[in-house]
Structure 1
Amino acid sequence: MARTVDDLAHRSKREAILDHAAMLVRTIGYEGMSIQQLIDGLGISRGALYHYFDSKQAVLEALVDRMGDAAIAALLPIIDDPGLTASEKFRRYVNASIAVKSANQELIADLMCTWHSEANVRLRHKLTTATLDRTAPMVLEPIIRQGVEEGTFDTAYPAETARIIAGIWLGLADDLIMLLARDEDEEPLTDRARGMIRAATTAVERILGASEGSLYGDQIEQIVRLIRPQKDK
């Protein structure tokens, strides 16, 4: 029983640290946040903080992990809904993913600014692994299998196709980050970003054998609106 209480207390304190860190990221950005600000805001010692996180980078990685967990939690009810077709589930998966990113725009903006730095090598690896090993089999693969059964998708390899689609989106995200990092006028950049997104969505539909435009509608413009504010960061 004591162990259970200790575990709960540990998780509660860890979440409190992350909540405060998330607030600081929203208000002053990750680069502006310091360990001292975390300590002062939480009223704890440096040693107490390091009991949970040994560095500022570890805090960032935990925030990203928590964002990923929230995304999976939001997606699973969609996957399990028997009243939805595979195409409907896919569109809702895209919408839910956009919603999670919209709710974490400040954190994402900071990540984009330092994405290709050496400090983020481990973080990039974690996100790639999580996408391929969690999102692909837990979210995309069940949707694809249902679509094959319904006759709306056409693939003999649902598991492999799920990883390929996840890889397309990982590659698109990386390309968009590099594009938005350029010091160029916003409108040409936005047009190019829109073209990259349309190319990716078309590729996904063709890989699945889905009819053109059946899986993405206004989501393309939602993604464009989501990334445009990052140019000003």
Structure 2
Amino acid sequence: MKTMNIKEELARVSVDLFSTQGYAKTSVQQIVDAAGVTKGALYHYFNSKDDLLFEIYDRILTLQHRNLEEIAARNLPLEETVRTVCEDVIITSIEWIREGTVFFRSQHMLSPDRMEDVKIRRRRYNEIFGALITRGQAEGLFRRDIPTAVLVANFFANPHYLSFWYQPHGTLTRQQVATQLTDLYLAGLRPAPCEGSDQ
């Protein structure tokens, strides 16, 4: 195995093992055996099993964060920017659905330090996304009767719940799911009919 692929292989077999037998029941020895490497090789890239679980999530969020910044830099109309970002989150969450499922079912077992890392990474993404929603509120595009934090949380419930119902080999494509969930979200973002009137 090429050195550059060892980290990838460790991450891959970790997802396989965590998804089939659970994070708690998977040992470091089982991971290195499945990857065909030594414990020394694992500890060269990861300090602990915690680090492997965090890496699974970090890869997804790093991709989504990079896409978010690239989409925001296009200077599209605001609602189109929000739509494109939302669809990207759904599509990438489906593409990485096994990894996401493993993480969300096991994240409570992370060490306090690693959980804090997760919160920081999420906060950075949510701040950028939330700024788009706040801008839409200021421009009258989005409703102002519900706090931005609630509107942001309302969207991110969608990708987190995908693993409970979405079937990768089912009748709905990734794009269809992304479009439909985003349509529903944007409909909920639009101002209520009475908003902005003098009361």
Q: Shorter chain as normaliser: what TM range?
A: 0.5 to 0.7
Aligned to 2:152: 166
Q: 1:153 aligns with which of 110, 123, 142?
A: 142
Q: 1:106 aligns with which of 93, 98, 119?
A: 98
Q: 2:67 aligns with which of 60, 68, 74?
A: 74
- RMSD (Å), alpha carbons: 4.0
Deviation digits for residues 131-181 of structure 1 (CA, Å, limit 9, x no counterpart): 2x2112223314542x3565423559xxx72x443334456777x59xx59
TM-score, scaled relative to structure 2: 0.62
Matched to 1:73, the amino acid is R
Deviation of residue 42 (structure 1)? 5.3
CA–CA distance in structure 1, aligned partners of residues 10 and 84 of structure 2: 30
Q: Is the 8 A contact 2:143 2:192 kept in 1?
A: yes
Deviation digits for residues 70-97 of structure 1 (CA, Å, limit 9, x no counterpart): 1111121211112x21111111111100
Q: Is the 8 A contact 1:22 1:63 kept in 2?
A: yes
Does 64-73 or 41-50 show the bigger shift? 41-50
Identity fraction in percent: 21
Helix, strand or coil for the counterpart of 1:20?
helix
Q: Is the 8 A contact 2:93 2:159 kept in 1?
A: no
Looking at secondary structure, tell me which structure has more helix per residue.
Answer: 1
CA–CA distance in structure 2, aligned partners of residues 142 and 169 of structure 1: 13
Does 72-81 or 122-131 show the bigger shift? 122-131
Runs of 5+ in structure 2 lacking a partner? 166-180, 194-199
1:201–1:126 Cα change, 3 Å: farther
TM-score, scaled relative to structure 1: 0.55
Q: Is the 8 A contact 1:25 1:106 kept in 2?
A: no
Q: 1:50 aligns with which of 43, 55, 59?
A: 43
